Amino acid sequence: MKSGRSVTLPKLNFSPILTKSVCVARRHMMNRYLLFTYYAGRSWGGMKDFLDSFDSVAEALENLLPEPSRYFQIVDRDTLQIVKEGLTIFKDCDPQAFSRE
């Protein structure tokens, strides 16, 4: 049987110094470039598509198998901007090489 009493949990206050050091520690747990990969049209979403983190974009690209229907995104951990994306079969292609100019 449930009682009519509600339980109130104590509010936790963290020191700003502790909070900042925890954030810095978490940031250094992963390398700079985050690699997400999934089959085109069948993404799981967010961290479910996360493969691994790497020190460089080149290192991340080396760890991709060139499959015709697999999509990838490389995200900069610091800015959360997509650095490179596309189908893994074209991972080594430079889009600037296809310019009409």
Q: Is 1 domain-assigned? A: no
Cα atoms in the 13 Å half-sphere on the side-chain side of 81: 3
Q: Is 89 domain-assigned? A: yes
Q: Is 20 domain-assigned? A: no
Domain limits for position 62 = 31-98
Amino acid symbol at 1: M
pLDDT at 94 over 80: no
The tokens for 73 are: 């995104």
Helix intervals (H) in the chain:
16-27, 57-62
Q: Please name the residue that has the structure tokens 């983190």.
A: 53
Domain count, the chain: 1
Cβ within 8 Å of residue 20, ≥6 positions away: none
Q: Is 8 domain-assigned? A: no
pLDDT band at 12, cuts 50/70/90? low
Per residue in 48-63, pLDDT (tens digit) is: 889 999 999 999 999 9
Angstrom distance (rounded) from CA 42 to CA 40? 6
| pLDDT at position 3 | 56
Q: Is 11 domain-assigned? A: no
